[in-house]
Structure 1
Amino acid sequence: MNTLSTSIVSTSMCLGCISEQISALMDLTFQSSVCLLLCPTWTSPPLHCTSTETGSAPIGPASSVTPCSTGQPCRSGPSLISDAVRGNRFVMPAERRLPLSCVLDVLEGQAQHPGVLYVQKQCSNLPTELPQLLSDLEPHVPWASEALGKMPDAVNFWLGEAAAVTSLHKDHYENLYCVVSGEKRFLLHPPSDRPFIPYELYTPATYQLTQEGSFKMVDEEAMEKVPWIPLDPLAPDLARYPNYSQARALCCTVQAGEMLYLPALWFHHVQQSHGCIAVNYWYDMEYDLKYSYFQLLDSLTKASGLD
C-alpha cells in the first residue's frame, strides 16, 4: 500500500468550540439517532444508560437512521464493520434513539452496552438532530461550494467507538470530511481500480436485539439483493479474490483540525480513534462524462468476468 502524503486543507470551523459544545450537551434531553453495531456471538444484558434529566434511555427502534452493519473482526482486535457482508448476508444494525449523554457515558466507560455505538446517520443529522452545534461551524465549505457550484445536500455528524469500522465502498457524493477530535484513517482506491475490486449480491438482513439481550439476524424479505464488496482490504483473501493484488491502495490519516476532500466514486474504508468526532459535507456529484467513464469501466468489468 502507498502512503498518501498529507495534502489536507485546514478547516474554517471552530473545531475547539464544537468539542466544548459536545461536553455541554451532556445535560440536554434531546435524542440522537444511534446505530448499534452488534456482534452476533456476544450475549449481554440490554443497554441501560441514565442521565440526570432523562432517566433510563429508551432502547426501542429509532424512527430513522441510516443503516450500518457488522462484519468480520479485523487483525487488531474485535471490530464491527458498518454496511458490510457477514456470511451470505448483507447485515444492517439494530437502530436506537438515545440521549447523546448516554452515548458519551458509554464512550467514557461510565456505562455498558451490548454492542458498538456509532452516531452516523447520513441524512443531514447535524442540523436536524443536533441544531445546538450549528452556531459553531459554517453551513458549508465556501471554497468547495464555489468550485462545485452548489450547496451541500447534507451535513452529517459522526461520533463512535474505535471498534466501529466502515467497510470498503463508494459514494455518489463529493465529500468534505472534517475531523473535530481524534483521527480517521482512510484506505482509498481510485475509481480506476474498479476491475480489481469484487462485488457480489447478498440477501439483506438486520440484526435485532432480543429481550434476553442476545442478537438475531432477520432477513429483509421485501428488499432486493444488495451488491456489496465482500473483501476486507486490511486482510484481503487473495486466494478468493486474486485480482485485488493489482489494486494499489492509498492510506491517509486525517487528524483533528484537518479536512479531507474525498472525490465521488472513490472507494474508501475507514477506521477511527475511540470517541472520534467528525463532521462531513456531502455535495451531490455531477452525472457527467466522469460518471459515464466509470459506468463503462464497471460494465466492462462485469462483462469480462473480473467480478
Structure 2
Amino acid sequence: MESVQDRLVEFSLEAHDLYLNKTVPHLEGPPEPLQFYRDWISPNKPCVIRNAFSHWPALSRWTPKYLREKIGSKVISVAVTPNGYADAVAGDRFVMPEERQMSFSSVLDIIEGTVQKTGVFYVQKQCSNLLQELPELVDDLEPHVPWMSTALGKSPDAVNFWLGEANAVTSMHKDPYENLYCVISGEKHFILLPPTDRPFVPYGLYQSAVYQEQDGGSLDPSGPSGPGPGALPAVPVSPASLLHSESWRDAVPSISVVPPRPAVPRLHRSEFLV
C-alpha cells in the first residue's frame, strides 16, 4: 500500500509540473469551439471567460425590483439549512437541506434582510430549475451557449438558476459532467482540485438525513445516524480546509506529505467559469 501511495504522490506532482496551472487562466472573449475543446475540456482544465455574455439583457435587467415585478409571485423551491452548508456531512450524517416552497419575493425579502428568518436560504435546485420553474426569465439570456454546445456536440442537460447570500456554501463534491457557470450579479468563489488529486480526498460512508424546522424554529437533522444500509459516500471536510495545510493534514493524516494545491478563482459579474 505504501508503494501505491508513493506512486499516487508522484503522479500528482508530475501532473502539476507538466500541465496543471497554479492559477485559473482568463480568456478575454468567447473561444472557438474546437480550440476550446482541445485546450480546456479534453485536458480537464478550468478557465474563466470574460466578455462572453455581455449581450445578455439579464446583466442590466436582473435587479431585485425587476425580479419582483417579473416573477415575484412565482412559487419556487428553496433550500434551507442552519449554517449555509447544503448536502454536507454534519456529525455522523450526510444532511440535505429542508426544501420549502416559497414565493420569489419572500426569498428576496430574506436575502435582502427586510425579513428575519432562522437559517440560510438558497435557491439551488438543479434539474433545470430555470427552465422548469422560471421560464419567464429565459428571454433575458441564452438557454444554451452556442460555442459550448458546439464544443460538446450537444445542448445542456440542465440550465439552473441559483440565488443566495454570502453564507450559502456548496459542499465539496465532484460532478460527472461538464459545468459552465456564469455570474449575473455579485461574485462566487470556487475551490478546484484536479482529477489527479482525487486519491487525497477523504471519503466516508454516512447515513442520509434532512434538516427539518422544529417547533422552536431551529433546524435539526432528521433521519438515521450511525453505520447502516444505504449509507452514502461523502467528503467530511469543508472545502475551506483545503486552503490551510494543517487542517488538511489533520483530516488526512496518512497522506499528509503532499496536501492538495487547489486553484481558487473568484468569479465576478459577467464572467464564465468552465
TM-score by length of 1: 0.67
Cα shift at 1:81: 1.6
Match of 2:239 in 1: 233
Which structure shows the higher strand fraction? 1
- Which position in structure 1 is the counterpart of 2:80? 36
Superposed displacement of residue 155, structure 1? 0.2
Distance 2:150 2:219 in 1: 47
1:30 Cα offset (Å):
1.2
Among 91, 108, 118, the residue aligned to 2:122: 118
Superposed CA deviations along residues 196-248 of structure 1, whole A, max 9, x for unmatched, are 11111001111110233123321159971110111223223412313264322
Question: Which structure has more helix as a fraction of its residues?
Answer: 2
Do residues 179 (structure 1) and 183 (structure 2) align? Answer: yes
Equivalent position amino acid for 1:230 in 2: P
Counterpart CA distance in 2 for 1:81 and 1:126 is 22
Count of aligned positions: 220
Deviation by residue 1:123-165 (Cα, 9 ceiling, x = unmatched):
1000111111110111201001001000100000000011111
2:67 paired with 1:25: yes
Q: Which runs of 4+ in 1 moved over 4 A?
A: 220-223
Between the aligned partners of 1:150 and 1:205, the Cα distance in structure 2 is 35
The CA distance in 2 between the partners of 1:83 and 1:121, in whole Å, is 12
Larger radius of gyration: 2
Q: TM-score normalised to the size of structure 2?
A: 0.75
Q: Which residue of 1 aligns with 2:34?
A: none
Q: What does the per-residue CA deviation read over 1:253-299, in whole Å, with 9 as the maximum and x for residues that have no partner?
A: 110000011xxxxxxxxxxxxxxxxxxxxxxxxxxxxxxxxxxxxxx
Q: Secondary structure at the match of 1:254?
A: strand
Aligned mates of 2:97, 2:229 — CA distance in 1: 16
Q: Secondary structure at the match of 1:204?
A: strand
Flag structure 2 segments of 5+ consecutive residues without an equivalent: 1-20, 28-47, 242-246
The reply on whether 1:11 has 2:22 as its aligned counterpart is no
Gaps of 5+ in 1: 40-79, 262-307
* Equivalent residues of 1:34, 1:96 under 8 A apart: yes
Question: Contact 1:34–1:120 at 8 Å: present in 2 too?
Answer: yes
> Structure 1 residues 220, 145: CA separation in 2 closer, same or farther (over 3 Å shift)?
farther
Q: RMSD over aligned Cα, in angstroms?
A: 2.1
Shift of 1:6: 3.0
Contact persistence 1:168–1:232 (CA under 8 A): yes
Q: Equivalents in 1 of 2:259, 2:191: separation in Å?
A: 15
Separation (CA, whole Å) in 2 of partners of 1:194 and 1:84: 18
Percent identical among aligned pairs is 47
SS in 1 for 2:171: strand
The aligned counterpart of 2:30 is: none
Q: Does 1:99 align with 2:103?
A: yes
Q: Which residue of structure 2 aligns with residue 217 of structure 1?
A: 221
What's 1:269 paired with? Answer: none
